[in-house]
Structure 1
Amino acid sequence: MNRPPLLPELDGLRAVAAYGIVATHVAFQTATGSAVLERFDYFVAVFFALSAFLLARGGMRPGYAARRVARLAPAYVVCVAVVLLALPPLAGVSWAQAAANLLLLQLYVPHSLIDGLTQMWSLCVEAAFYVVLPAYLRLGGRGRRVALAAAVAAGLAWPWAVAGIEDSAVLNLQIWPPSYALWFAVGLALAELERAGVAYRGPRWPFPLSALPVAWFAGVIGPRGLTHPSPAEFNARVLLGALFAALVVAPYALGPRERGTVLSSATMRTLGRWSYSVFLWHMAVLYFVFPVLGVPVFGGHFLLVYAATALATTAVAYVSYELVEVPGARLVRQATAKHPAATRKVDEPA
């Protein structure tokens, strides 16, 4: 199957999602108390939907596994190794915790969501999606629809299935991959709609704008902060996150291939290419921003802390992209390709 043309605005959308995730973590650590910013973790749902859409729209291609490893592993391993060595709170981390983080298995090892790397839980979930995606794409159209419906139903049942056996302080089974099937389903459904010829030609801005009340409502109904949600509360959060992701992604995924917009600008597309490294490094950067600014954790000053974190993370992400992500991906592709001269660029979508 021929891969459809790239969508010029989706790189810019990834940049928005990355800095939205930075905003939600800064909001929490500055005790901002904003219901909207607290649920900007819904930009994780945007990332899941974008990844699913971009990978599914062109069908399965040869070398899929090697490309996923090349895209993710070099920058991830370097980031985890540096954070483990550099952050003072991690001086007492066990070998099991360190190994779990280096191998992207932290969701499955007790007490392994650690300072500076807590955001990696979502990458752990995404890696599980990458594993099952080839089986999904090998199905026919009807088989994919049935599998999608079954996965969503199983995902919504998961929080109840684990409610009696989990201890979230030790191992949070509630955030294991099945729970987020619906967020990936948003992107997979959009790929199916695109494949069927569905297109949207209207204005796009009302959709992302209407996602903000969704985030606000999700933040208001709670629970707020780190309070462990009940299965019903967790599923409400997942359902609203799916709606948020659909409102943000759908008008661009199914819309015309436009250039000359803000999201398709050179700046936004560059930030979109750096977005993976922004995601990887921002929590470690945030740890050092507080003492540099002389601001206590949970001491307010959201705008100041966010500006400093975003700027410093962007600088670190640029270095990571140029010195680790691109050359590391190239090395992995050359090592795994049957025809090294045919290896692709690192900045392919998703």
Structure 2
Amino acid sequence: MRAVAAYGIVATHVAFQTATDSALLERFDYFVAVFFALSAFLLARGGIRPGYYSRRVARLAPAYLVCVAVVLLALPPLAGVSWGQVAANALLVQVYVPHGLIDGLTQMWSLCIEAAFYAVLPLYLRLGTRRRRVVLAGAVALGLAWPWAVAGLGDPAVVNLQIWPPSYAPWFAVGLVLVELERAGVRYAGPRWPFLLLSLPVAWFAGVIGPRGLEHPSPAEFNARVLLGAVFAALVVAPYALGQRMRGTVLSSRVMRTLGHWSYSVFLWHMAVLYFAFPVLGVPMFAGRFALVYLATALASTAVAYISYELVEVPGARLVRQATAKQPATTRKVDDPA
């Protein structure tokens, strides 16, 4: 599932930079909602164990910091970035800092949001069942009210308050609701592919109602986008979260499991890879050739992700765990949510 989400995100960015006019591909950014819902489900389902925050740091920080450092040094457009922009990206606070989102790293806005969720999740899970439900409903209500509350405050081209963490509470709520349903004994034993098919017209409809491209949405348009993204995430994640584990399917294959391990690094590196894909292929930006650019970007991102996983993610996570835990970590496994 994580691999599908990662390559879906690659597709939406390639579609934009090749000027591919597709309402469906434009809203493949809804795979961010899938990541949010999946992370919420997996982490809340397992409960908060000792060393939770150190494991989150071990999971995210090593590969992220190496990616940021390399991109800052390698991408020509970043030669003139300020030290404030560098610090914001290194500390994963770029969505809160003026002009914090920079070339090759713009996708990291979603990681900022996920880090905020990681920070508050233990507080949520310490509540009783009834209080969790009240807090969850309140968080969703706050998320829907947030775009209206910040409308007209500041310039979204400088700091986009609309994409701060409260707005995406409905996407995380999908995963948290699935945990509650699982605890209540709800199970699904039917086929999963119909739900995946149903998710596609949801994404297409969200792309059609707009606004398209980089036009800043009104609060109503933004909320429609978020709510449809929650529906998309529920359709994709719920059949797998509540279903029985099935062997012999495509998503359970060894290839997909391996790509799932690499998916975090695919997400980290694909925008930088995409920047170099155009000159390497001899294709001008915004000049079409989606299939060619996507194939090259996906393959190159996968190769870079493999290197990142083997040389940075796994040993980096091990070093962090050894530095923060009493018992040195001996396993190569990296925590699932990305």
Normalising TM by the smaller chain, what interval?
Answer: over 0.9
Question: Corresponding residue for 1:123?
Answer: 111
Instruction: Spell out, residue by residue over 1:108-158, the C-alpha distance to the aligned partner (whole angstroms, 9 max, x if none).
Output: 110010000000000000000000000000001101100100000000000
CA contact (8 A) 1:24 1:39 kept: yes
Question: Corresponding residue for 2:252?
Answer: 264
CA contact (8 A) 1:183 1:238 kept: yes
**TM-score, reference length from structure 2:** 0.99
TM-aligned CA distance change 1:189 to 1:344, over 3 Å:
farther
How far is 1:166 from its partner? 2.7
**Pairing 1:140-219 to 2, within 5 Å after superposition:** 140-219=128-207
- Out of 322, 325, 335, the position equivalent to 1:348 is 335
* Mapped pair 1:40 → 2:20: no
Structure 1 residues without counterparts, runs of 5 or longer: 1-12
Question: Corresponding residue for 1:10?
Answer: none
Distance 1:339 1:27 in 2: 46
CA contact (8 A) 1:117 1:284 kept: yes
TM-aligned CA distance change 1:157 to 1:344, over 3 Å:
farther
- Out of 210, 213, 216, the position equivalent to 1:225 is 213
Distance 1:166 1:206 in 2: 43
| Secondary structure of residue in 2 paired with 1:298 | coil
Question: Corresponding residue for 2:311?
Answer: 323
- Out of 5, 8, 11, the position equivalent to 1:23 is 11
How far is 1:339 from its partner? 1.9
Paired residue type of 1:347: V
Paired residue type of 1:90: L
How far is 1:20 from its partner? 0.1
Structure 2 residues without counterparts, runs of 5 or longer: none
CA contact (8 A) 2:314 2:333 kept: yes
CA contact (8 A) 2:18 2:286 kept: yes
Paired residue type of 2:222: F
- Out of 240, 247, 261, the position equivalent to 2:228 is 240
CA contact (8 A) 2:317 2:334 kept: no
- Out of 288, 299, 304, the position equivalent to 2:287 is 299
How far is 1:345 from its partner? 4.0
CA RMSD of aligned residues (A): 0.8
Residue correspondences, number: 337
How far is 1:47 from its partner? 0.2
Distance 1:111 1:149 in 2: 33
CA contact (8 A) 1:215 1:244 kept: yes
How far is 1:344 from its partner? 5.1
**Pairing 1:97-108 to 2, within 5 Å after superposition:** 97-108=85-96
Instruction: Spell out, residue by residue over 1:174-202, the C-alpha distance to the aligned partner (whole angstroms, 9 max, x if none).
Output: 00000000000000000111111110011
Same amino acid, percent of matched pairs: 83
CA contact (8 A) 2:171 2:230 kept: yes
* Mapped pair 1:114 → 2:99: no
Distance 1:86 1:339 in 2: 38
Instruction: Spell out, residue by residue over 1:223-248, the C-alpha distance to the aligned partner (whole angstroms, 9 max, x if none).
Output: 00000000000000000000000000
**TM-score, reference length from structure 1:** 0.95
Distance 2:335 2:17 in 1: 34
- Out of 92, 95, 98, the position equivalent to 2:80 is 92
TM-aligned CA distance change 1:344 to 1:155, over 3 Å:
farther
How far is 1:206 from its partner? 0.2
How far is 1:164 from its partner? 2.2
